[in-house]
């Protein structure tokens, strides 16, 4: 059974996992989900009991169950300690504070510091230069786009195409917002 976990993980979770430690981590996590105890009615995916697979047969009931789940997942559902969330929040806070400090005007004895508008303009330019305008679908590996015997693409290939479209929409929105922000500064 363990031999089957890694290919399942590779197919489901994004292609090839080549690093030995990443393979080990993926296999360990998948053992939790691909094991006989998961078929028992009392099985929970977390020690708190919040995450479990309900035995429901109506779509509305499944949706109701999903609505009861936390909006922000606890680290325990991923097999991590609660301190992992603290480390994540500390990093996010540091990034936020650094960003706030970066957009503050520089004051000094000699003057000549950038104004807040100039700082925002520069950040817009840097962001625009860093983020692609779109993802070119023609760069998708052609082997992923081969239809099966029934003329249909593999479900993950279909998801890839849909997510590429959605991501391109997001990229367009980001670039449009940057342009609008710079127009507002002018």
* Most confident listed range (2-11, 25-34, 142-151): 142-151
Note whether residue 166 is domain-resident.
yes
Measured in residues, the chain has a length of: 186
Report the C-alpha gap between 145 and 158 in whole angstroms. 9
Structural domain span for residue 133 = 113-185
Note whether residue 150 is domain-resident.
yes
The pLDDT score that the predictor gives to residue 167 is 94
pLDDT in tens, 132-179: 999 999 999 988 889 988 888 888 888 889 999 999 999 999 999 999
Note whether residue 127 is domain-resident.
yes
The pLDDT score that the predictor gives to residue 10 is 64
Note whether residue 42 is domain-resident.
no
The pLDDT score that the predictor gives to residue 116 is 80
- Predicted TM-score (pTM) of the model is 0.45
Residue 121, SS3? Answer: helix
Four-residue CA torsion sign, 152, 155, 158, 162: positive
Note whether residue 46 is domain-resident.
no
When divided into structural domains, the chain yields a total of: 1
Place of tokens 């990229």: 171
pLDDT in tens, 90-123: 888 988 888 888 777 666 555 567 788 888 899 9
The pLDDT score that the predictor gives to residue 168 is 94
Note whether residue 69 is domain-resident.
no
Q: Is residue 158 within 8 Å of residue 141, measured between CB atoms?
A: no
Place of tokens 């993926």: 26
Report the C-alpha gap between 178 and 144 in whole angstroms. 34
Note whether residue 76 is domain-resident.
no
Note whether residue 2 is domain-resident.
no
Residue 44, SS3? Answer: strand
């Amino acid at each position: 059974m363990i031999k089957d976990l890694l290919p399942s993980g590779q197919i489901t979770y994004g292609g090839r996992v080549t690093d030995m430690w990443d393979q080990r981590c993926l296999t360990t996590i998948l053992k939790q989900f691909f094991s006989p105890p998961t078929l028992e009615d009392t099985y929970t995916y977390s020690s708190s009991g919040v995450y479990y697979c309900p035995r429901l047969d109506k779509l509305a009931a499944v949706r109701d169950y999903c609505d009861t789940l936390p909006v922000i997942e606890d680290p325990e559902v991923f097999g991590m300690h609660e301190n992992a969330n603290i480390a994540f929040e500390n990093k996010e806070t540091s990034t936020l504070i650094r960003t706030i400090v970066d957009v503050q005007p520089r004051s000094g004895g000699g003057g000549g510091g950038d104004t807040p508008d100039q700082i925002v303009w520069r950040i817009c330019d840097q962001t625009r230069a860093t983020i692609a305008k779109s993802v070119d679908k023609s760069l998708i590996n052609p082997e992923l786009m081969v239809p099966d015997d029934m003329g249909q693409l593999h479900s993950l290939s279909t998801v890839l195409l849909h997510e590429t479209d959605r991501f391109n929409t997001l990229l367009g929105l980001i670039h449009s917002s940057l342009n609008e922000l710079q127009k507002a500064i002018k």
